[in-house]
Chain A
Amino acid sequence: MNRTRKVRKLLLAGAIILAVSIVILAVAIIQYYSTIKTIIPVEQAVWVDGRPFNETIVETLSSTYGGCTVYSNHTLENRGDVDVTVLFEVVNITDGKGNPINPLSGIVEVSFLVNGQPVGFTNVPAHSTVNFQIAIHFHYAIAPDVYTIITQIKPNIPEPSEPKPPA
């Protein structure tokens, strides 16, 4: 009987110690007091003609003649808080049958003008608008046809530089 009581007391003491230990342990592993989940819709910084990147701008210019240069006017609007450098790039030039034309062939020459000067890139200051032109010059011997030029305005994202070996 006494032995039984001793065992019970021992078990009860053990249970109390275990419970206290768990509580102490639980208190010790709290990592934060609360959680905040933030959802922010972010729109692109630079808008071309007031349109987002997924809305391609399609334009048809007035007919022209070989040897002539045609221009289309566009705007860049930086809605962000930091200056952004954008790159101009010719993606594709095709004739009326969809045949590609090498941009380096001189048959169709595309350049980008900011303030009337040809540029490959331009800086768009924060919260400002920059006008630019796409200038398309056709060689005077070009075959009469309907030509399509696709250009893109790209963010200037520098390639990560590889660490240089010590000298």
Chain B
Amino acid sequence: MKQTSLEDFVKIKGNRKFRIPIWLIAVFMIALVASASAALLQYFGQVVTTVEVKQAVLLDGKDISEMPIAESATVSGGEYFLTSHVLQSQTSVPVTLQFQTEVAPSPEGVTVKYFKSSGYTVTVTTQVKSELSPDGIPISVTVEDIGDWIQWTFDFFAYNTSVAEGNGKFAGCIIISLDGTTPTFQIHNNDGTCSAFPWGTWLYSPYDPTGGWHTSEADWNTPVSDIGWIEAEGDMLFANNPQGTLVVRILKTKLDTSFGWAVYASIAHFSTIPYSISVYPADFNWGSETFETAVILEEIVSPFVLNANETLPFYIRYEFNPLVAGEYEITTTVTVAD
């Protein structure tokens, strides 16, 4: 029996043969197979998921679309200043970050470092100046980091065992030394030192490196209420302040990563509580001031980890060499460290 060849199969009348290319036959076969398999589902279901993703870490509450954050300052060569910012993690995983600094036109003479709070807190007991108040009592002073501020809280009744009565007065004074040795300024609730202001007025009085203190002079005193970076609360009079508490706050950015502080306090005009003058440190004296050192900021070394949902206040400290002058543009970029 003669077998029918593919050529015979495609033979048409008139003895004319049309040769069908092999590739066409292959395509046909593939299509045939495909049409057979098309009866099987390629998938049972399909899910289209849309998610809006926000930036994991915000700087001062802003995302990249709101960058850069611009700030400016005018300083003299040899000076420094600090600015305060916040990194805020919105994410549930730790993020490794780093600070990158660019200084234009030249980084020479400009030092930029990044710091975070050290969590400084200390409570001290003042030393009674027995030569001035032999029967005096000490007070308690707590210094603590409360975010952007360093806060001093005077507790005049911490060591009092008498009933507080009479026309008592509380006088408190904080003395700051930015270099730790030379006074820079003091904040006091005028105990009559400066007659230009009512008693009890909270005043800021800078130190004159060449002339010492001018606390009694009106031109050397500025009401704290006129200064944005100092806050002071607490009335001098016991009648208005029966708790015997005075509070003073100073913005960290107006201090430094470390500085010296001292306090001078007096209690007077109580009928039962003895007149008391006390200081801290114990050897503090006007004219030969000594200071307690406070390290309130510690350097952030890049790269560093921002933990899940952590909020990290940080400070940029710009310091300029005494020989530096001109306009500088300093750019800090917070990037992801690989």
Contact = CB atoms under 8 A, between A and B. Distances in A.
Nearest to B91: A67
A157 interface: yes
A63 B48 contact: no
Nearest to A138: B53
Q: How large is the interface on A (under 10, 10 to 19, 20 to 34, 35 or more residues)?
A: 35 or more
A150 B91 contact: no
B43 A144 contact: no
Contacts of A51: 45
Contact of A144 (B49, B53, B89): B53
Given A65-B56, A66-B56, A67-B93, A148 B43 contact: no
Nearest to A57: B47
13 contacts: A44-B44, A48-B45, A53-B41, A59-B48, A66-B53, A67-B91, A67-B93, A68-B53, A141-B95, A141-B336, A144-B63, A146-B51, A152-B47
Contacts of B40: 155, 157
Interface stretch (A3-11, A13-21, A32-40, A69-77): A69-77
A22 interface: no
Given A52-B45, A65-B54, A150-B48, 10 more contacts: A53-B41, A58-B50, A64-B52, A68-B53, A68-B91, A89-B43, A138-B51, A144-B54, A148-B48, A148-B50
A96 B47 CA distance: 17
Contacts of A155: 40-41, 43-44
A65 B91 contact: yes
Interface in A116-167: 134, 136, 138, 140-155, 157
Interface string B68-93: 00000000000000000000011111
Contact of B47 (A45, A59, A64, A145): A59
B280 to A, nearest CB: 46
Contact of A145 (B43, B46, B53): B53
A160 to B, nearest CB: 10
A152 B42 CA distance: 9
A76 B44 CA distance: 9
Interface in A42-61: 44-49, 51-53, 56-61
B44 A46 contact: yes
B64 interface: yes
A39 B125 CA distance: 97
Interface SS of A by simple majority: strand
Most interface-central of B45, B55, B63, B336 (chain A CB within 10 A): B45
Given A68-B91, A140-B336, A153 B45 contact: yes
A70 B52 CA distance: 11
A155 B336 CA distance: 41
B95 to A, nearest CB: 5
B65 interface: yes
Interface string B25-50: 00000000000000011111111111
A52 B43 CA distance: 10
A45 B45 CA distance: 11
B69 to A, nearest CB: 17
B43 A60 contact: no
